[in-house]
Amino acid sequence: MELYTPIFVLGGIGAAFVVLSMVVGALAGPKRYNRTKLQAYECGIDPTPQPVGGGRFTIKYYLTAMLFIVFDIEVIFLVPWAVHLDALGMFGLVAMVLFLANVSIAYAYEWRRGGLEWD
Amino acid sequence: MIPLGLPEPTAPALTTQAPDLDYWLLSPLLVVFAVGVVGVLVEAFVDRRHRRLTQLVLALAGVGAAFVLTLLQVGSLPEQGAGVGVAFATVAVDRPTLFFQGTILVLAFISLLLIAENRDGESAFAAQAAAVPGSEEERAHVLAGSQHTEVYPLVMFAVLGMQLFPASNDFLTMFIALEVMSLPLYLLCGLARRRRLFSQEAAVKYFLLGAFSSAFFLFGIAMVYGYAGSVHFADVYAAVGAGGAGVIEDGEPLLLIGMALIGVGLLFKVGAVPFHNWKPDVYQGAPTPITALMASCTLVAAFGALLRVFYVAFGASVWEWRPMLWVVAILTMVLAAVIAVTQRDIKRLLAYSSVVHAGFVLTAVVAASADGLAGAMFYLAAYGFTTIGAFAVVTLVRAPEGGAEAGDLAQWAGLARTSPFLAGALGLFLLAFAGIPLTSGFIGKFAVFEAAVAAGATPLVVVGVLSSAVTAFFYVRIIVLMFFAEPAETAPRVLRPGGLTGTVIGVGIAATVLLGVFPGPVLDNLLPQPSAEAAVGTQPSGAGIVPEDMFVR
């Protein structure tokens, strides 16, 4: 059982943090509502309308989301490389520069073809 | 503490040495990749008007340069022994690899010519793939003459995956190659200019089924890893030969399940029955130049990978996988031939014919010998040239109304009266498919069947010859239709072959005839001939089915 104690403790702290911050926020925060604030939060796009058969939603948002995922993956590769840079030496540096250059080329394409323009 | 029965965790060994890559042996791959990347930059920074020409010149130069580098590498391989393992031996550069890569590059070069064909500013690809089919936006893009020149970098990335696929020397590299090859193809399939919904449907089907088969492949890798404790082909081979790697007791079921699942993944890409269902739909819906690319290059790459997995990694358990491939080969040859007879659409018919031909190549794989390997290599090369030629002819025959291709075979009736050259060319390609002597198809069939008979798979060859006869029936039926039937009332509009398509058809005819009449120079030099004293000196060991010096282990 002791094996799981830290997990339960961590879970408890996490739950306590959520409850505490919501309670404190509800008690201490100012309450000036407007329409936008009362909308459901969907990461920055307009909340998806759900008429019969499902509505269509704009693809612009997903372009940005995909950009984000590529950066995410980039970081996943960068962290172990950075931790072990001294052992990998010059080879690692060159390889990582090449990798970053290749990833940036995709961004250059997206930027030039208007993928970053919201409207 | 609860005793969990797990060994004490030990820190994994860290590689503290920087890897030593042999850039020379990787250069054909690197050139193609670089051209793809530069192609993306061209899309970003070059003016719209110059893009197509820039991309085409870049792509052709890149594929050509990669082919020359591949040829030069044949000389730099060690005289004796197999080849060289590159990048921690994850990539095997040996003679079969170089042959497959060279074939893929030549066929990709020809396909690129077909892809580049442009009539009055109209290519085979959608003006704006993102526009809703039939919408005002689409019409505006067609009028403005928009083109997706992204097609060229996508083809380059697909070709890169195809080059790596038969060269992979471990399962993870092979999986990455599989995905690099497939992802651009999924996209390219959905870009047809005409019948766009149909094309998009094909792309979605291909993507979903392809993802499904990739999952099978990955799961198989996990099983084999559980058995052998490694994904590297040499380690798997050693583990299979020793009856297990000591990772797990009685791991035989793991190996068998893994072998079967990896087989599913590879046979899907090859398009063997019962994993063939995507082929007719995708071949029919995709833009015809892309169909030509898939029917030739992808098939070569997939068989290269299949041969490497079963001959190298599972080379020591030939008695386990041979019955499986026997069944698949028989099913493929029989079912596809019978279904093909009922087809009314030329592209679907060619797709089923591609399935049948995959079955013929599988008979050579079943042989599990050097002859089988050589036969499969020759067959794939010969079939690739012929099939690109046949699809090139298909691009020229259009429906009387609108610009779509005349798929329905009824419209092809009496084609020889209006366009004797075109009908003659297609007739030659169909005869080569049927395996008539003096065409490359005959030599290829002879080579694979001979290898299968030598390996004791005579029943398989009997089935193969019978199914050949069935396929000959529907090939000849089309020839009769074109040459002796009354022209259809809705006669198709036959386009004059432009310089590019004309070249493709010409190369197809030349290769089909030359490989049929003078196959010797190619057929005899596919693999290093074992010297006489070596043949006497070494007894074939029970495990090694293919002479040790064919493949890097």
CA B150 to chain centre: 22
Average pLDDT of the residues in A38-64: 68
What average pLDDT is seen over chain B? 88
Whether residue B18 and residue A89 make contact (CB cut-off 8 A), yes or no, is yes
* A87 interface with B at CB cutoff 8 Å: yes
This model of the complex carries an ipTM of 0.78
Q: What is the largest CA-CA distance in chain B?
A: 88
Give the CA-trace dihedral at B155, B157, B158, B160, to 10 degrees. 120
Average pLDDT of the residues in B388-409: 88
**Chain B closest-CA separation from residue A112 CA (Å):** 5
Average pLDDT of the residues in B43-64: 94
φ, ψ of residue B508 to 5 degrees: the values are -60, -45
Range of the domain at A103: 57-112
Whether residue A102 and residue B18 make contact (CB cut-off 8 A), yes or no, is no
Average pLDDT of the residues in B364-371: 89
- Domain annotation covers residue A4: no
Chain A residues near residue B41 by CB distance under 8 angstroms: 105, 108-109
Which positions ≥6 away from B48 have C-beta within 8 Å? none
Whether residue A102 and residue B19 make contact (CB cut-off 8 A), yes or no, is no
Specify the DSSP element, H or E, that contains B84. strand B84-86
Q: Is the pLDDT of residue A47 over 80?
A: no
Amino acid letter for position B501: T
Q: Which pLDDT score, from 0 to 100, does residue B542 have?
A: 36
**Is B269 within 8 Å of B298 (Cβ atoms)?**
yes
Name the pLDDT band for B16 (thresholds 50, 70, 90).
Answer: low
Q: What angle do CA B335, B338, B340 make, to 5 degrees?
A: 105
- Domain annotation covers residue A92: yes
CA dihedral (B307, B329, B293, B192) positive or negative: negative
**Chain B closest-CA separation from residue A75 CA (Å):** 20
Choose among B17, B18, B44: nearest Cβ to A108: B44
**Chain B closest-CA separation from residue A15 CA (Å):** 27
Nearest residue on chain B to A87, judged by CA atoms?
B16
B443, two tokens: 């030599």
Q: Is the pLDDT of residue A44 over 90?
A: no
Which positions ≥6 away from A3 have C-beta within 8 Å? B1, B2
CA B99 to chain centre: 13
**Chain A closest-CA separation from residue B20 CA (Å):** 9
Q: Which residue has the higher pLDDT, B400 or B2?
A: B400
Average pLDDT of the residues in B21-35: 93
Q: Is the pLDDT of residue B533 over 50?
A: no
The answer to whether the peptide bond before residue B274 is cis (omega within 30 degrees of 0) is yes
Establish, for the pair of chains A and B, how many residue pairs have beta carbons separated by less than 8 Å: 35
Q: What angle do CA B285, B291, B297 make, to 5 degrees?
A: 150
Which of A:100-119 have CB within 8 Å of B?
102, 105-106, 108-109, 111-113
pLDDT in tens, B405-420: 888 888 888 888 888 9
Q: Find tokens 């290599």 and name the residue.
A: B377
Name the pLDDT band for A56 (thresholds 50, 70, 90).
Answer: low
Q: Which pLDDT score, from 0 to 100, does residue B368 have?
A: 86
Chain B residues near residue A106 by CB distance under 8 angstroms: 40
Q: Which pLDDT score, from 0 to 100, does residue B529 have?
A: 54
Least confident range of B4-8, B138-142, B308-312, B483-487 = B4-8
CB count in 10 Å sphere of residue B219: 16
- Domain annotation covers residue A25: no
In terms of residues, how long is chain B? 553
**Chain B closest-CA separation from residue A117 CA (Å):** 15
Q: What is the DSSP-derived secondary structure letter of residue B61?
A: H
Q: List B232's β-bridge partners, or say none.
A: B170
Please spell the DSSP secondary structure of B276-311, one letter per residue. Answer: -THHHHHHHHS-HHHHHHIIIIIHHHHHHHHHHIII
Nearest residue on chain B to A107, judged by CA atoms?
B44
**Is B381 within 8 Å of B466 (Cβ atoms)?**
no
Specify the DSSP element, H or E, that contains B93. strand B91-93
Whether residue B40 and residue A105 make contact (CB cut-off 8 A), yes or no, is yes
Whether residue A88 and residue B18 make contact (CB cut-off 8 A), yes or no, is yes
Q: What angle do CA B199, B205, B206 make, to 5 degrees?
A: 90
Whether residue A89 and residue B44 make contact (CB cut-off 8 A), yes or no, is no
Chain B residues near residue A91 by CB distance under 8 angstroms: 18-19
Q: How far apart are the C-alpha atoms of B255 and B261, rounded to whole Å?
A: 10
Q: What is the largest CA-CA distance in chain A?
A: 59
Which positions ≥6 away from B501 have C-beta within 8 Å? B113, B114, B117, B392, B395, B396
Q: Which pLDDT score, from 0 to 100, does residue A55 have?
A: 61
**Chain A closest-CA separation from residue B16 CA (Å):** 5
- Total structural domains in chain A? 1
- Domain annotation covers residue A67: yes
Whether residue A90 and residue B18 make contact (CB cut-off 8 A), yes or no, is yes
Chain B residues near residue A3 by CB distance under 8 angstroms: 1-2
pLDDT in tens, B490-524: 778 888 888 899 999 999 999 999 999 988 877 77
**Chain B closest-CA separation from residue A110 CA (Å):** 8
Q: How far apart are the C-alpha atoms of A46 and B204, rounded to whole Å?
A: 28
Q: Is the pLDDT of residue B96 over 80?
A: yes
pLDDT in tens, B71-94: 999 888 876 666 788 888 889 998
Which positions ≥6 away from B147 have C-beta within 8 Å? B51, B52, B121, B123, B125, B127
Q: How far apart are the C-alpha atoms of B327 and B320, rounded to whole Å?
A: 12
Name the pLDDT band for A97 (thresholds 50, 70, 90).
Answer: very high
Whether residue A112 and residue B16 make contact (CB cut-off 8 A), yes or no, is no
Nearest residue on chain B to A84, judged by CA atoms?
B16
Please spell the DSSP secondary structure of B134-169, one letter per residue. Answer: TSHHHHHHHHHT---TTHHHHHHHHHHHHHHTTTB-
Whether residue B44 and residue A112 make contact (CB cut-off 8 A), yes or no, is yes
Nearest residue on chain A to B18, judged by CA atoms?
A88
Nearest residue on chain A to B3, judged by CA atoms?
A3
- Residues of B near A (CB-CB distance < 8 A)? 1-2, 14-19, 37, 40-41, 43-45
CA dihedral (B448, B444, B107, B421) positive or negative: negative
Q: Which pLDDT score, from 0 to 100, does residue A32 have?
A: 85
Please spell the DSSP secondary structure of B169-198, one letter per residue. Answer: -BHHHHHHHHHHHHHHHHHHHTTBSSSHHH
Specify the DSSP element, H or E, that contains B494. strand B493-494
3-class DSSP state for residue B122?
strand
Helix axes B499-517, B440-454, angle to 10 degrees: 40
Q: How far apart are the C-alpha atoms of B389 and B432, rounded to whole Å?
A: 11
Q: Is the pLDDT of residue A96 over 50?
A: yes
Choose among A87, A91, A102: nearest Cβ to B37: A102
Whether residue B18 and residue A3 make contact (CB cut-off 8 A), yes or no, is no
Interface test with B, best of A100, A105, A107 (most B CBs within 10 A): A105
Q: Is the pLDDT of residue A31 over 90?
A: no
Q: List B85's β-bridge partners, or say none.
A: B92
Whether residue A3 and residue B43 make contact (CB cut-off 8 A), yes or no, is no
Q: Which pLDDT score, from 0 to 100, does residue A39 have?
A: 77
Beta strand residue intervals within B318-399, DSSP E = 397-398
Q: Find tokens 């030509």 and name the residue.
A: B292
Q: Is the pLDDT of residue B15 over 60?
A: no
Delimit the domains of chain B by residue range. Answer: 23-527
Q: Is the pLDDT of residue B3 over 90?
A: no
Beta strand residue intervals within B397-487, DSSP E = 397-398
Q: What is the DSSP-derived secondary structure letter of residue A30?
A: -
Q: How far apart are the C-alpha atoms of B148 and B191, rounded to whole Å?
A: 9
Amino acid letter for position B508: G
In terms of residues, how long is chain A? 119
Chain B residues near residue A102 by CB distance under 8 angstroms: 37
- Domain annotation covers residue A27: no
Chain A residues near residue B1 by CB distance under 8 angstroms: 2-3
Whether residue A105 and residue B14 make contact (CB cut-off 8 A), yes or no, is no
* A84 interface with B at CB cutoff 8 Å: yes
Nearest residue on chain A to B150, judged by CA atoms?
A109
